[in-house]
Amino acid sequence: MDCGLYVVATPIGNLGDMSQRALEVLLGVDLIAAEDTRHSLRLLRHFGIDTPALAYHDHSDQRALARLTDCLEAGGSVALVSDAGTPLISDPGYRLVRQVQDRGFAVHPVPGACAAIAALSASGLATDRFLFEGFLPSRPGSRANRLAELQRETATLIFYEAPHRVQDCLQSMVEIFGGEREGVLAREITKTFETIRRGTLESLAEFVAGDHNQQRGEIVLLVAGKEKQDGDIRPETAALLERLAQELPAKRAAAVVADLTGLKKKRLYDYLLAQKTG
Ligand code: SAM
């Protein structure tokens, strides 16, 4: 195994998502740096891995860092894992990766589960551009300020949210983005009670308020980016739409392009009507 730091993704719920390479790396390294050793030891034991583990987070003291870099200096290899998913994504590791690189050692990613990407991939929202926001501030005023800053963002927005705050957060989103904006609640991804629900923010807020179970477990919230005004339909989208409208009824052409781009069907249809009437 090559010397260096391996940043190893672990499952976000379903242990079947542990990759073969992740197992080989965790078995092969000399030391595992874990966000919470008790938590990670359960996972490692499940897979029969008994590599020594050490607690590491971004505020660990110099001794923990020294032990990791000593191991690298001696030609060894270290794996970094977090409690679940990809380390550094709303998890510790950023400082360690930089310091290891600055000391001239290689850092190798071992990719796997990440709640943000898993949620996006199954959301039905546009994926061509997205903005990962991580956790919003927990104080209502600060959260509202941050949402207001994002109000005009046209990329799909991805947030991590704590279950006890999801209802208030959705309510805030309704107030700031408007209840008609589309969003997705992605809860307990890969687990028994997995829920992926797409709807207007208003309908999601009602859904969560009306079912206490939706305020439990692990949650990703996604919000469709702000739509550009009619005149802003991209030239390539307009060309596709116009070409399709030569083959299909305008409504059908608009529906196909809406599926492909995430734009509103009605807006695309209105665009075609406007074209027709000159
Ligand atoms: N590093 C992790 C990753 O790659 O996704 C994220 C760690 S962050 C501390 C934990 C947050 O991720 C949770 O509060 C939740 O918002 C989200 N999350 C993690 N697992 C999830 C799951 N199975 N379903 C939905 N959200 C999840």
Q: Which of 61, 88, 113 is the last residue of a domain?
A: 113
Provide the CATH number for the domain around residue 159.
Answer: 3.30.950.10
Cβ–ligand 1 contact at 120 (below 6 Å): no
Choice among 55-69, 120-134, 135-149, 191-205 with the minimum mean pLDDT: 55-69
In the sheet with 182-187, reading across from the earlier edge strand, the strands are 130-135, 156-161, 219-223, 182-187, 195-200
Lowest mean pLDDT among 105-109, 144-148, 197-201, 235-239: 235-239
Residue 59, token pair as written in the block: 């505020």
Q: Is residue 249 part of a domain?
A: yes
pLDDT digits 0-9 by tens, 90-114: 999 999 999 999 999 999 999 999 9
From 220, 221, 222, mutation site for ligand 1 pocket: most ligand atoms within 8 A of C-beta:
220
Using most ligand atoms within 8 A of CB, pick from 17, 58, 160 the residue to mutate for ligand 1. 160
The two tokens of residue 276 are 């027709």
Residue 229 has pLDDT above 90, yes or no: no
Query: Distance from first CA to last CA of the chain, Å, rounded?
Result: 66
β-strand partners of 6: 79, 108
pLDDT at 225 over 60: yes
Average pLDDT over residues 15-40: 96
Domain closes at, from 223, 251, 268: 223
Q: Would 149 be classed as within a structural domain?
A: yes
Average pLDDT value for residue range 152-176: 97
pLDDT, residue 63, reads 86
Confidence of residue 141 (pLDDT cuts 50, 70, 90): very high
> CA-to-CA distance for 9 and 45, rounded, in angstroms?
16
Question: Is residue 49 over pLDDT 80?
Answer: yes
134 and 101 assigned to the same domain: no
Tell whether 12 and 56 lie within a shared domain.
Answer: yes
All residues at 6 or more sequence positions from 95 whose CB lies less than 8 Å from its CB, including other chains: 58
Task: Write down the pLDDT at residue 261.
Answer: 85
Residue 151 CA to ligand 1 centre (angstroms)? 24
Q: Which domain holds residue 107?
A: 4-113
Residue 254's pLDDT is what? 96
Mean pLDDT of 149-175: 96
- Complete DSSP assignment for 146-202: HHHHHTT--SEEEEEE-GGGHHHHHHHHHHHH-TTSEEEEEESTTSTT-EEEEEEHH
**Which of 127-136, 145-154, 266-275 has the least mean pLDDT?**
266-275
Q: What distance in angstroms lies between residue 239's CA and the mean position of ligand 1's atoms?
A: 39
Residue 123 in contact with ligand 1 by CB distance below 6 A: no
Q: Which atom of ligand 1 is nearest to the CA of 86?
A: 4
> In testing the pocket of ligand 1, which one of 91, 218, 221, 222 has its CB within 8 Å of the most ligand atoms?
218
Q: What local confidence, expressed as pLDDT, does residue 231 receive?
A: 56
Contact 33, 97 (CB under 8 A): no
Q: Is residue 190 within 6 Å of ligand 1 at its C-beta?
A: yes
Q: Which of 7, 8, 12, 89 to mutate to test the pocket of ligand 1 (most atoms within 8 A of CB)?
A: 12
Model confidence, pTM: 0.84
Q: Please indicate, yes or no, whether residues 86 and 9 belong to a single structural domain of this protein.
A: yes
Element containing residue 77 per DSSP (H, E):
strand 77-81
Q: Whose CA is nearest to atom 2 of ligand 1?
A: 85
**Number of compact structural domains in the chain:** 3
The pLDDT value given to residue 228:
64
Do 54 and 72 lie in one domain? The reply is yes
| Average pLDDT along the chain | 94
Q: Which atom of ligand 1 is nearest to the CA of 113?
A: 4
Return the higher-pLDDT residue of 234 and 88.
88
> Considering all CA atoms of the chain, what is the largest pairwise distance in Å, rounded to the nearest integer?
75
Report residue 216's pLDDT band, with 50, 70 and 90 as the boundaries.
very high
185 lines ligand 1 (CB under 6 A): no
Q: What is the pLDDT of residue 278?
A: 65
pLDDT of residue 274: 86
Mean pLDDT of 200-215: 96
Q: What are phi and psi of 17, to 5 degrees?
A: -85, 0
Q: Is ligand 1 within 6 A of the CB of residue 91?
A: yes
Are 178 and 205 spatial neighbours (Cβ–Cβ below 8 Å)? no
- Does the Cβ of 35 fall within 6 Å of ligand 1? no
